[in-house]
A = this chain, B = another copy of it.
Amino acid sequence: MTVRAGVVVTGTEVLAGRVTDKNGPWVAQRLLEMGVDVAHITVCGDRPDDLTAQLQFLADQHVDLIVTTGGLGPTADDLTVATVAALYGRELHLDEELEQRIHAIVQRWRSRLSAATDSEPLRAGIRKQAMVPQGAHSIPPTGTAPGVAIPANDSETLPAVLILPGPPRELQTMWPKALDSAPIVEVLTRRAQIRQNTIRAYGLSEPDLAATLRTAERQITGFDELEITTCLRLGELEMVTRYAESAATAYTELAGLIDEHHGSQVFSIDGSTIDDIVANRLAGHQIATAESCTGGMIAARLTDRAGSSAYVIGAVVSYANEVKSNLLDVSAETIEEHGAVSERVAAMMAEGVLSRLGVDIAVSTSGIAGPGGGTDLKPVGTVCFAIASTERPTVTRTLRLPGDRASVRALSTTAAMHMLADALGPAE
């Protein structure tokens, strides 16, 4: 049986486009992973009428579950709980134990900030956050805002609701406990077991994958039961398949067919990202980058991960030619002869940072991100890469990347990650 959900994201900043919503996508992904179908995501400001209208819309669409994010703060414009309670005809009552709990959390924070211990507005805010609708289940707070789970009403004209706070870290930490609350468990037990698998390929075009999927449609029994979506992003083609247990054989056959046709381009069949793969393969290595057009983006991406200091030694961003010469030992003559954007210079940059920083693997970029600087021979988007290593000869490559400056830089960074993964080879 299909369980359908709707997600309501609240917040004037999100509705006004000033803050990028992280909660809608995160909640949608978690729901889909556990076999719940997401039908609608809606965004509304801090206006109770608009929120009520969205909740009613989702109820009219017969979703089985509504998840709301945001609007649980201590101030007057945080009104999600009161608005939902009014729609469901459930009175709010003060949960005194919860009030004490929030009070303790707030006191701990304020003592750290050496702020005044107590005030009437502060107490009023805590009391507001401890108001729970009749018959609802409270979800313990990570910050100061508890979540609320409300069962569907008796006539089932209104679905179960899960109310969660807006700060993404609070929401994500509270998620497991929210799923354990009785009203949510009741909804989730009705869902069919759905599996979701992700295959990621690099350098595979959408039409080529589409051709393979047409072959699969002809050859594989039960192909119709696979719900496939594909998405191309920064040169990576991601194929997500959702299916019931009964279609597991069809999926296995599909995965086999894709491996047969595009095996050399597939880099992940278990959901791992290229960043996961590079990080795993870098264990025991020491890496440095020498970056021109990417301006530090590869180093920033490698050091995004906790624990990356075990293998990232450093980087040189050689935006100006003198830096290529002074810090990376690329001779001025080579730059003069081949141009800064050349495989020769990229090779010397990678070798320069390899030897200067004493690492065993290094990657370099030199390219024209635009909008200016392009020529007929080297148009905007031309990027040269090199991988230098203590173990084998330097490898170079040139790509012509499409799009604007931001696109060329992002595509270059991802390309460098894939070249690193290839150069490092499987771990173990």
Q: A18-B238, A38-B16, A404-B169 are in contact. Are A315 and B296 (CB under 8 A)?
A: yes
What does the 1/0 interface line of A1-34 toward B look like (CB < 8 Å)?
Answer: 0000000000011111111100011111100100
Contacting residues, chain B, for A294 (C-beta < 8 A): 300
Which of B57, B295, B307, B358 is within 8 Å of A57, CB to CB? B57
| Pairwise interchain contact B25-A231, C-beta atoms closer than 8 A | no
Which residue of A41, A302, A357, A409 has the most chain B CB atoms within 10 A of its CB atom? A41
Contacting residues, chain B, for A41 (C-beta < 8 A): 15, 42-44
User: Chain A binding site: helix, strand, loop or mixed by DSSP?
Assistant: mixed
| Pairwise interchain contact B26-A306, C-beta atoms closer than 8 A | no
Who on chain B is nearest to A43 by CB?
B41
Which of B19, B319, B323 is within 8 Å of A303, CB to CB? B319
What does the 1/0 interface line of A313-344 toward B look like (CB < 8 Å)?
Answer: 11111111011001100000000000000000
Q: Judge if A89 is at the interface, Cβ distance under 8 Å.
A: no
Which of B26, B304, B317, B320 is within 8 Å of A17, CB to CB? B26
Who on chain B is nearest to A286 by CB?
B320
Contacting residues, chain B, for A304 (C-beta < 8 A): 295, 405-406, 409
Contacting residues, chain B, for A57 (C-beta < 8 A): 53, 57
Q: A19-B233, A405-B306 are in contact. Are A295 and B313 (CB under 8 A)?
A: no
What does the 1/0 interface line of A45-56 toward B look like (CB < 8 Å)?
Answer: 100001001100
Q: Judge if A61 is at the interface, Cβ distance under 8 Å.
A: yes
Q: A300-B297, A315-B316, A322-B313 are in contact. Are A16 and B42 (CB under 8 A)?
A: no
